[in-house]
Structure 1
Amino acid sequence: MTLVAVLDYGSGNLHSVTRALAVTGAEVVLTADPAAAVAADGLVVPGVGAFAACMAGLEAVDGPRIIRERLASGRRVLGICVGHQVMFGLGSEHGVETAGVGVLPGVVEGLAARRLPHMGWNTVDVPAGSALFAGVEDERFYFVHSYAARALPEAEGVAVTWAEHEGDRFVAAVEAGALASTQFHPEKSGDAGARLLRTWVAALR
Structure 2
Amino acid sequence: MQHMTPITIVDYGAGNLRTVQRAFEYVGAEAHITGDPDVVRQARKLVLPGVGAFGKAMERLRATHLDEAIRERVAEGVPLLGICLGLQLLFDESEELGRHEGLHLLPGRVRKFDISLKIPHIGWNEVRIQREHPLVQGIAPGQFGYFVHSFYVDPADPEVVLATSDYEIEFACICARDHVMGIQFHPEKSQELGLALLRNFATFGE
Call closer, same or farther: CA 1:151–1:72 in 2, change over 3 Å.
Answer: closer
CA distance in 2, matches of 1:75, 1:192: 24
Alignment partner, residue 77 of structure 1: 80
Alignment partner, residue 107 of structure 2: 105
State percent identity of aligned pairs. Answer: 37
Q: Within the alignment, does 1:148 sit opposite 2:149 as a pair?
A: no
Q: Which amino acid letter does the alignment assign opposite residue 115 of structure 2?
A: A
SS in 2 for 1:116: coil
Alignment partner, residue 11 of structure 2: 8
Q: Within the alignment, does 1:120 sit opposite 2:123 as a pair?
A: yes
CA distance in 2, matches of 1:100, 1:107: 9
Q: Which amino acid letter does the alignment assign opposite residue 110 of structure 1?
A: K
Q: Which amino acid letter does the alignment assign opposite residue 3 of structure 1?
A: P
Q: Which amino acid letter does the alignment assign opposite residue 107 of structure 2?
A: P
Call closer, same or farther: CA 1:151–1:203 in 2, change over 3 Å.
Answer: closer
Question: Could you tell me the TM-score, scaled by structure 2's length?
Answer: 0.91
Q: Within the alignment, does 1:129 sit opposite 2:132 as a pair?
A: yes
Call closer, same or farther: CA 1:32–1:110 in 2, change over 3 Å.
Answer: same
Deviation at 1:129, TM superposition (A): 1.9
SS in 1 for 2:107: strand
Worse-superposed segment, 85-94 or 64-73: 64-73
1:1-205 aligned within 5 A: 2-94=5-97, 96-114=98-116, 115-138=118-141, 139-155=143-159, 158-166=160-168, 168-205=169-206
Deviation per CA, 1:117-161: give whole Å up to 9, x if none: 111111122123232112224211111000011343235xx3432
Question: Could you tell me the TM-score, scaled by structure 1's length?
Answer: 0.91
SS in 2 for 1:124: strand
Deviation at 1:192, TM superposition (A): 1.2
Q: Which amino acid letter does the alignment assign opposite residue 8 of structure 1?
A: D
Alpha-carbon contact 1:81-1:183 (below 8 Å) kept: yes
CA distance in 2, matches of 1:77, 1:172: 16
CA distance in 1, matches of 2:100, 2:119: 21
Q: Which amino acid letter does the alignment assign opposite residue 185 of structure 1?
A: H
In structure 2, stretches of 5+ residues that fail to align are: none
SS in 1 for 2:60: helix
In structure 1, stretches of 5+ residues that fail to align are: none
SS in 2 for 1:59: helix
Q: Which amino acid letter does the alignment assign opposite residue 116 of structure 1?
A: I
Deviation at 1:204, TM superposition (A): 4.6
Deviation at 1:12, TM superposition (A): 3.1
Deviation at 1:4, TM superposition (A): 0.6
